[in-house]
Amino acid sequence: MGYINLALRMAREAGGLIKDYVDGDFKVEEKSSKADLVTEVDQKSESFIRNRIHEYYPEHKIIGEEGVAGGEDVNAVAESDDYIWIIDPIDGTTNFVHGLPGYTISLALSYKKQVILGVIYDPNLDEMFWAEKGKGAFLNNNRLTVSENDDLEGCVLATGYPSDVKGDRAKVINTINTLGPVCGNIRTFGSAALHLAYVAAGRMEGFWEQGLNVWDVAAGYLLVNEAGGTATAITGETYNLTTRGLVASNGHIHKNLVESINVND
C-alpha cells in the first residue's frame, strides 16, 4: 500500500478505535502534571498505528507521543535522513477525557528531514484533512486553500494552553492580551492539529502556540503550506522537526502575527 493510502486508512481506523471508548471506562494517568494527561486509549491507538506501520514498512522509524517515554530521542530521530512516521494517537486528550469533541489523530511522514505527507482526522465530524508535499491539501476529496483575509481586525485566530503553566502557557496568555484587542476573535478548540487543519481549510486565518511537539504539528505544518499558507517557528525562522513554538497563517497576516507574539518574548 502506498504511504498516503496507508496513512488515511490508519487514521480512520484509529478514529473508530478511539470512538468505541467514548462513553466507557478507560484509565487516565497524569504525565508531567494534572494538565498533561494520557489515557489507555491514547496508548492503544498508538500501538495500533505502530503495528500497522511495522506490517507494511518495517524498516521505517517511528516517533509517537506515547512511545517517547519508551526512550525514543526525538531530536536524534529528527536529524536522521530516513523515513520517519510521526504519530499523535490523540491530539486533544483533555477533550477526549472530558467527553468533548475536538480531538484528532495526526500522522506525518518525513524523509530527509522534510515532511512529505500529513493526515489529520477528526473522527467526530468524519473530516479527513490530508496533504502530500507538492500535491496540495485536501479535506476529504476537496482541495483546500487558505483564507484571503489580510485585515487582522476581521481575522479569527487560534491558540492552545500548553501544560507548562508558568512558562509556555504564560507566554500564550501574554500574546492573547496583545492580539485579543486587535483581531476579530480567538478560539481554543483544544487540538493544535485541528487548529492547523482549520487554517489550511480557510476556516481561520492564523494559529500560534509555544511548547508544542513534533507530533502535534508536523502534519498540520504541511497542510498549511500545501494550502498556500505559511508556517514558521515563533521567531519567524524556518520550521524544522525540532521546532517547539509554531506560527501558522494564511500568509497575509504572518509578519503581523510574528511581530505581535515576539513583542512579549
Q: Judged by CB, which is closer to ligand IPD: 21, or 111? A: 21
* Cβ at position 43, least distance to Ca ion in Å: 10
For the chain, the first-to-last Cα distance in angstroms comes to 46
Q: How many residues bind Ca ion (CB under 5 A)?
A: 4
Residue 62 contact among ligand IPD, Ca ion, none, beta carbon within 5 to 8 Å by kind: none
* Cβ at position 192, least distance to ligand IPD in Å: 4
Q: Would you give the distance in Å from CA 62 to the centre of its chain?
A: 16
Residue 190 contact among ligand IPD, Ca ion, none, beta carbon within 5 to 8 Å by kind: ligand IPD
Q: Judged by CB, which is closer to ligand IPD: 194, or 258? A: 194
Kindly list the catalytic residues: 65, 88, 90-91, 93, 216
Per rule CB under 5 A, is residue 65 in the interface with Ca ion? yes
Stretch that binds Ca ion, among 86-94, 107-115, 141-149, 200-208 (CB under 5 A): 86-94
For 88-104, b where at least 16 C-beta lie within 10 A, e where not — what string? bbbbbbbbbbeeebbbb
* Cβ at position 101, least distance to ligand IPD in Å: 13
Q: In what order do the strands lie in the sheet with 136-139?
A: 61-64, 84-91, 104-111, 114-122, 127-132, 136-139, 142-143
Phi and psi for 225 in degrees, rounded to 5? -60, -45
* Cβ at position 256, least distance to Ca ion in Å: 30
Tell me the C-alpha distance between 104 and 85, whole Å. 16
In the bound state, the residue with its beta carbon closest to ligand IPD is 160
Stretch that binds Ca ion, among 28-36, 56-64, 87-95, 149-157 (CB under 5 A): 87-95
Stretch that binds Ca ion, among 51-59, 62-70, 222-230, 241-249 (CB under 5 A): 62-70
Q: Judged by CB, which is closer to ligand IPD: 4, or 165? A: 165
Report whether 83 contacts 113 (CB < 8 A).
no
Q: Judged by CB, which is closer to ligand IPD: 57, or 187? A: 187
Alpha-carbon torsion 1, 103, 60, 136, what sign?
A: positive
Tell me the C-alpha distance between 149 and 166, whole Å. 33
Tell me the C-alpha distance between 83 and 91, whole Å. 22
Q: Which residues lie near ligand IPD (CB under 6 A)?
A: 65, 88, 91-93, 160-163, 190-192, 209, 211-212, 216
User: What dihedral angle (degrees, nearest 10) is formed by the CA atoms of 136, 142, 144, 145?
Assistant: 110
Residue 216 contact among ligand IPD, Ca ion, none, beta carbon within 5 to 8 Å by kind: ligand IPD
Q: Which residue has the cell 462513553?
A: 23
Report whether 247 contacts 229 (CB < 8 A).
no
**Of positions 62, 78, 84, 88, contacts Ca ion by CB under 5 A:** 88
* Cβ at position 165, least distance to Ca ion in Å: 18
- Residues in touch with Ca ion (CB under 5 A): 65, 88, 90-91
